[in-house]
């Protein structure tokens, strides 16, 4: 039996099971992606009056709702592909997005997302949280270096900012990696810090 871990995100209403590093990396990146507002999971779908495993991930993006096909060298006639199509139809998706290993592993985004996510369980004093968020509200989107230089926190400001990003309280565009010029902006999940990802 294949072991599955659980991924918890402020963008998902329940824990999402995953068995591969590729799926975990995709879920981390989707959680940190400002263009994705919601992540859903459905384990099975009804096809021809049978319940078929789908292991389907659905994302709500700025341009619509899409089922995600994590292409992992599966045969074209894999039953899971047909199940995903049925799932996309049943959940009224706009389409199916094919995501390859190369898409998920693309650098510097992959390493940057892992780095940010590694700070998700950093403990944060309420004053530090308020200091960072009020500074962003006052100054608007600023670079990571500017934000770190303008706040006074008890904990390491960089680690705290990344923890806030993991919970959705702030947003980062990680496509260019983590640099001093990385723009930090207020997020839309200000009360979500404290959610964790459980994995082996």
What whole-number distance in Å separates Cα of residue 145 and Cα of residue 168?
20
What whole-number distance in Å separates Cα of residue 191 and Cα of residue 168?
8
What whole-number distance in Å separates Cα of residue 29 and Cα of residue 18?
14
Q: Which residues contact 103 (CB under 8 A, 6 or more apart)?
A: none
Q: Is residue 173 within 8 Å of 158, Cβ to Cβ?
A: no
The CA angle 17-20-22, to the nearest 5 degrees, is 110
Q: Which residues contact 104 (CB under 8 A, 6 or more apart)?
A: 22, 25, 26, 29, 70, 110
Domain boundaries, the chain: 5-105, 109-186
pLDDT of residue 79: 63
Q: Is residue 127 within 8 Å of 152, Cβ to Cβ?
A: no
Q: How far from 13 is each of 8, 19, 56, CA to CA, in Å?
A: 9, 19, 15
Tens digits of pLDDT across the chain (200 residues): 556 799 999 999 999 999 899 999 999 999 999 999 999 999 888 887 888 888 899 999 999 999 999 887 455 566 667 888 888 998 999 999 999 999 999 999 999 999 999 999 999 999 999 999 999 999 989 999 999 999 999 999 999 999 999 999 999 999 999 999 999 999 986 433 334 443 33
pLDDT of residue 191: 38
What whole-number distance in Å separates Cα of residue 54 and Cα of residue 69?
10
Quick one: the chain helix, strand, coil %, rounded to 5?
35, 25, 35
Looking at CATH, the fold of the domain delimited by 5-105 is given as Trna Endonuclease; Chain: A, domain 1 (3.40.1350)
């Amino acid at each position: 039996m294949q072991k599955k871990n659980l991924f918890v995100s402020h963008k998902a209403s329940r824990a999402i099971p995953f068995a591969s590093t590729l799926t975990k990396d995709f879920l981390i990146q989707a959680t940190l992606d400002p263009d994705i507002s919601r992540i859903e999971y459905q384990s099975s779908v009804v096809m021809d009056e049978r319940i078929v495993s789908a292991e389907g991930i659905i994302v709500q993006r700025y341009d619509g709702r899409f089922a995600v096909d994590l292409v992992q060298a599966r045969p074209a006639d894999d039953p899971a592909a047909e199940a995903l199509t049925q799932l996309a139809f049943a959940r009224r998706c706009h389409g199916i997005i094919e995501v390859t290993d190369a898409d998920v592993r693309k650098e510097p985004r992959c390493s940057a997302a892992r780095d940010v996510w590694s700070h998700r369980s950093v403990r944060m004093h309420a004053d530090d949280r308020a200091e960072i968020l009020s500074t962003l509200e006052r100054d608007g989107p600023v670079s990571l270096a500017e934000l770190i230089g303008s706040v006074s926190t008890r904990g390491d400001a960089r680690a705290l900012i990344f923890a806030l990003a993991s919970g959705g309280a702030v947003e980062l565009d990680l496509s260019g990696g983590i640099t001093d010029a990385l723009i930090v902006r207020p997020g839309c999940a200000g009360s979500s810090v404290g959610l964790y990802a459980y994995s082996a």
